[in-house]
Amino acid sequence: MPERDLRTYFELFNEIGILEQLSRALFEARLPPGVLVSHFSILNHLVRVGDGRTPLELATAFQVPKTTLSHTLALVEKRGWIEMRPNPADKRSKQVWLTDAGRSFRDAAIESLLPELDRLAGGFPERDLPELIERLSAIRRYMDAARDGEAQPTLRN
Amino acid sequence: MPERDLRTYFELFNEIGILEQLSRALFEARLPPGVLVSHFSILNHLVRVGDGRTPLELATAFQVPKTTLSHTLALVEKRGWIEMRPNPADKRSKQVWLTDAGRSFRDAAIESLLPELDRLAGGFPERDLPELIERLSAIRRYMDAARDGEAQPTLRN
DNA sequence: TGCATATAATACGATATCGTACTAAATGGA
DNA sequence: TCCATTTAGTACGATATCGTATTATATGCA
């Protein structure tokens, strides 16, 4: 694998980073004050994969430290969008369940974004969007699966 | 534009968000303690578009509040990777210039990531990577250009 | 069974990021 | 020219995120 191709991968992630910044700022501007994309993402993930997940499963899914997730869950629970229940399979653990209010808010949040997406899609129709998503998703799934790999040389040394 | 397509755009940004999380965690784990992707991104951007940019230009490029950028620049300057000089064209303003150490660190940071990218590229060869990047870049450029748009209904109301 | 180790979640402190308010300089119209 | 308005950058406070340490429970092996 020539180094040139590796640098191309690097460019891909650079582009992804910028797009994430742009889309997050766009989305967050439409959410109620104090509600962040990280909060919404909890709800959206639970709708997509089903609720009853443990905090650790969520932290792993988002590749976020579990202490960060702990904090986020507390805020989302305070809004009444999720419920934390004991995990019957493990007394150390918990389960995160969506409330009706949580599902409603998630749907409303998506609705509120549609006009913005409409503006984007209207001014910049992208063909084969599902194919683009699938390619990104495949990369994501591979990285997800390969995450448990061993140490590599780093600048930390 | 049917709503179904808009939701597909939503999925695109959702996928991008997850990929950003994954890649950022991966990259940051290889940087020296206290050095974040946001710091590296300053250096990388200056190399790519040329240094001498003003802080505001950088804040706009990253779609980040200028106060956030102010803080980041101070940290990067403290590391000796950039120099802040007065902007001869505007006494309110400044210019950000790379130092040799800044360029070196940027190169080294990319080098340190290559093994990881190699692992990715080796296990998951992606054909037409430049084409994928170009499609993302086109979306990004359009969003960038369309950013000055007017207000839309939001959940804030 | 008993105990060393591993794991889930949280408490706590550090800091990156963000929003509001402020200062200094630039701009533009009367 | 003068002054109202706009703009570039920063100070300051709030909070989201992150790393380390702690507690409670689970796991696995002698």
The residue of chain A nearest to residue B20, with distances taken between CA atoms, is A17
Beta-bridged to residue A87, according to DSSP, are none
Structure-block tokens of residue B115: 């093994």
Q: What is the pLDDT of residues A47-90, one digit of tens each?
A: 999 999 999 999 998 889 999 999 999 999 999 999 999 999 99
Q: Distance (Å, rounded) from C-alpha B61 to C-alpha B73?
A: 14
Mean pLDDT of A121-148: 82
Average pLDDT, chain A: 86
Which pLDDT band holds residue A118 (cuts at 50, 70, 90)?
Answer: confident
B155 CA to C20 C1', in Å? 22
CB A97 within 8 A of CB A80: no
Q: Does any CB of chain B come closer than 8 Å to the CB of residue A49?
A: no
Rounded to an integer, what is the distance from CA B35 to the centroid of its chain? 15
**A128 Rama class: left (phi>0) / alpha (psi -120 to 50) / beta:** left
At B24-58, the pLDDT tens digits run 888 888 899 889 999 999 999 999 999 999 999 99
Whether A90 sits with its Cβ under 7 A from any strand D atom: the answer reads yes
